[in-house]
């Protein structure tokens, strides 16, 4: 067994999440697109809370970007609803968890690089 698989088997999954669910999400969204995020609060408003998120795809990013300048709160809700795979209701009901979740998704936004050369 390689290091990645051994490391994955040692991860503690959020309550209610099975390895079959993880495998189905990986099949649907891509092998390296499913992430475990531990939400936490600097102000100790809530205990550390594990959720499963996915890397946003082009459609989710397009919907997010459509609203980010006009209604930032709506844009955040759109990206969370599209990319949070577990405990959605609980996150949406708590301002602190909502903001922590948005931060987690923002950290995995798919920003690609290009090499630019003068012609």
Q: How high is the pLDDT of residue 117?
A: 95
11 pLDDT band (50/70/90 cuts)?
confident
Q: State yes or no: pLDDT of 1 exceeds 60.
A: no
As a whole number, mean pLDDT of residues 33-48 equals: 88
| Cβ burial 18-35 (10 Å sphere, 16+ → b, else e) | eeebbeebeeebeeebbb
Mind listing the domains of the chain with CATH numbers? 3-107 (3.30.2220.10)
Q: State yes or no: pLDDT of 9 exceeds 60.
A: no
As a whole number, mean pLDDT of residues 58-76 equals: 96
Per-range mean pLDDT, top range of 12-21, 45-54, 81-90: 81-90
């Amino acid at each position: 067994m390689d290091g990645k698989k051994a490391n994955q088997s040692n991860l503690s999954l959020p309550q209610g999440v099975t390895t079959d669910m993880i495998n189905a999400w990986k099949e649907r969204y891509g092998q390296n697109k499913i992430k475990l995020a531990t939400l936490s609060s600097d102000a100790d408003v809530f205990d550390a809370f594990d959720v499963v998120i996915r890397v946003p795809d082009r459609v989710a990013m397009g919907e997010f970007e459509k609203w980010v300048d006009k209604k930032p709160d709506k844009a955040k809700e759109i990206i969370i609803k599209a990319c949070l795979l577990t405990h959605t209701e609980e996150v949406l009901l708590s301002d602190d968890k909502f903001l922590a979740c948005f931060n987690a998704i923002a950290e995995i936004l798919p920003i690609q690089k290009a090499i630019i050369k003068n012609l």
